[in-house]
Structure 1
């Protein structure tokens, strides 16, 4: 089986850390540090992707807040709102190219506009490892 035929849905993280826009900044930080991840997908009540909150977003919020004497707020105020997503059926090599080109670590996976998981650099590395172990070659 060629590596390019592996779909995102086969190696995506099915239960990644997700938060709501109303989640407090400190709750999001706690969730990410506890799970040892560098970011979380932000979902609305309809399970649609509305943003991404990263460690960098959180750090920027803390620094900005420290200058103004008010640290905190909700994820919605600090998240990246312009979020690219991938389709569950997209092949992993195309996703890998996007991650590298756009210097991203993760992309939410959607099916029918609804969030179903997350694809990351680690997802690709797991797929390659699995493929190599089965076939002893790339």
Structure 2
């Protein structure tokens, strides 16, 4: 007499659909951008209006020149008092960060999170053939992590 199984017939295993884990799945594609000859005041207005902390600076070919952030605006505000100048009159070019790390859209979000930690950045621009195509922020990575919560995090 053999061993009897009381489990009954099993259904075919369901195929698990894993959530996307690449930067391109979570990056912002519709971006607010600035030109280097715009004023810091214009940046401050746009940052406040759009509730963002910074944005890419591009040329007429949509090539990345730098990033301007609320911190860069703070520097101009501070200097305006010291030099007794109007706030926001200076051009972005004088205050933007130009040594800007970028990431590939094919990078997974875990490696991107590590880069955020190492570089202490709030956002990474994403370039494709030298053109700005998107941006990933710390908040985007947090959203991705929330969607992945409870899944197996092996890549």
Q: TM-score, normalised by structure 1?
A: 0.89
| Post-superposition CA distance 1:31-52 (Å, at most 9, x none) | 0111111111111111111111
Displacement of 1:96 in angstroms is 0.8
Q: Quick check: 1:67 aligned with 2:82?
A: yes
Q: Does 1:114 align with 2:131?
A: yes
Say whether residues 1:24 and 2:39 are aligned partners.
yes
Structure having greater relative contact order (Cα 8 Å, sep ≥ 6): 1
Cα distance in 1 for partners of 2:96, 2:42 equals: 14
User: Are the equivalent residues in 2 in contact too, given 1:17–1:32 (CA < 8 A)?
Assistant: no
TM-score between both structures, scaled by the size of structure 2: 0.80
Structure 1 outlier segments of 4+, above 2 Å: none
Q: How does 1:1-138 map to 2 (within 5 A)?
A: 6-71=21-86, 72-132=89-149, 136-138=150-152
Pick the structure with more helix per residue: 1
Query: How far apart are 1:137 and its partner, in Å?
Result: 3.1
Gaps of at least 5 residues in structure 1 are: none
Per-residue deviation, 1:131: 2.2
Work out whether residues 23 and 75 of structure 1, in 8 Å CA contact, stay in contact via their aligned partners in 2. Answer: yes
User: In the alignment, what sits opposite 2:12?
Assistant: none
Point out where structure 2 has 5 or more consecutive residues left out of the alignment: 1-16
| Cα deviations by residue, 1:33-74 (Å, 9 ceiling, x for unpaired) | 111111111111111111111111101111112211223211
Which secondary structure does the structure 1 equivalent of 2:82 belong to? helix
Supply the RMSD in Å over aligned alpha carbons: 1.6
Aligned length: 134
Structure exhibiting the larger radius of gyration computed from Cα positions: 2
